[in-house]
Amino acid sequence: MTHHGFCIWLTGLPSAGKTTIAKALTPKLKARGWNVELLDGDEVRTGLSADLGFDRKAREMHAARVTFVAKVLARNGVIPIVALISPYTSSRAKARQEIGRFVEVYVTTPLSVCEERDVKGLYKKARAGTIKEMTGIDDPYEMPEHPDITVETIEHNPDQSADYILLELEKKGWLPSASPSGHSGAPVGAKASAV
Ligand SMILES: Nc1ncnc2c1ncn2[C@@H]1O[C@H](COP(=O)(O)OP(=O)(O)OP(=O)(O)O)[C@@H](O)[C@H]1O
Ligand SMILES: [Mg+2]
């Protein structure tokens, strides 16, 4: 029997910290015996959505494709970690509906801090008007109203955020508690994957 995985969906503004937190989380889940696949916005765009732009319809389509992949992974015992701006409430709601075992993690960082971080230099370009449809500047970001988990990156470092997410998953009963003895708490069959 294949153990059922679940999807951890990180949403937030550009440069909020989604990729950074996802990368901190991945080895922690692997150490507990899970198969993890990071579906990171940029990489997935290249592989799955190179044909799509950044208007609403395209962003919704992109999120829908990522949702499909995450669903297939989760039902085969993998934990897909999605790190995607996913600015529209409707896309995230569809992901939840389709995947079922799904936690929405709101990576929240003030826009001013994201703009200072500007990891890819896109805020600068958007302010200069050389790129359009930049989330947070001239494209909307619909804040999650009822995220399952919220991580505040100006209060907690990436490692703390990752640990907090693990703790919340333990509270939900989706992740066995890591026992003090150091036992991984890996579920039987967690490594089974048919994809
Ligand atoms: N507490 C924190 N949590 C997460 N990232 C932080 C934190 N403090 C500083 N940072 C830095 O903020 C930046 C976040 O960039 P990251 O690429 O993770 O953002 P992102 O949300 O994936 O953006 P994008 O949507 O553009 O891919 C990194 O340079 C990271 O080191
Ligand atoms: Mg990223």
What is the DSSP secondary structure assignment for residue 101, as one 8-state letter? S
Q: Distance (Å, rounded) from C-alpha 64 to C-alpha 92? A: 9
CA of 84 to the centre of ligand 1 (A): 12
- Ligand 1 pocket mutation, candidates 9, 19, 26, criterion most atoms within 8 A of CB: 19
pLDDT in tens, 5-47: 999 999 999 999 999 999 999 999 999 999 999 999 989 999 9
What is the DSSP secondary structure assignment for residue 122, as one 8-state letter? H
86 is catalytic: yes
Task: Give the helix, strand, coil percentages of the chain, each rounded to 5.
Answer: 40, 15, 45
Q: Distance (Å, rounded) from C-alpha 184 to C-alpha 190? A: 12
* Cβ-proximal residues to 159 (8 Å cutoff; 6+ apart), any chain: 24
Residue 191 pLDDT level (bands cut at 50, 70, 90): very low
Q: Distance (Å, rounded) from C-alpha 84 to C-alpha 120? A: 15
Task: Provide the pLDDT for residue 68.
Answer: 98
Q: Annotated catalytic residue: which of 15, 49, 86, 161? A: 86
- Residue ranges lining ligand 1, Cβ < 6 Å: 12, 14-21, 41, 83, 85, 117, 119-120, 153, 156-158, 161
Q: Distance (Å, rounded) from C-alpha 85 to C-alpha 96? A: 15
CA of 105 to the centre of ligand 2 (A): 14
pLDDT, the chain, mean: 92
Residue 183 pLDDT level (bands cut at 50, 70, 90): very low
CA of 134 to the centre of ligand 2 (A): 14
- Count the Cβ atoms, other than its own, within 10 Å of residue 9: 30
Please report where in the chains the tokens 């951890």 appear, as a residue.
8
Q: Distance (Å, rounded) from C-alpha 120 to C-alpha 137? A: 15
Query: Could you tell me the two tokens for 179?
Result: 């026992």
pLDDT in tens, 113-160: 999 999 999 999 999 999 999 999 999 999 999 999 999 999 999 999
Domain boundaries, the chain: 7-172
pLDDT over threshold 80, residue 3: no
Give CATH for domain 7-172. 3.40.50.300
- Answer yes or no: are the C-beta atoms of 91 and 63 closer than 8 Å: yes
pLDDT over threshold 90, residue 188: no
Q: Does the reported pTM lie above 0.75?
A: yes
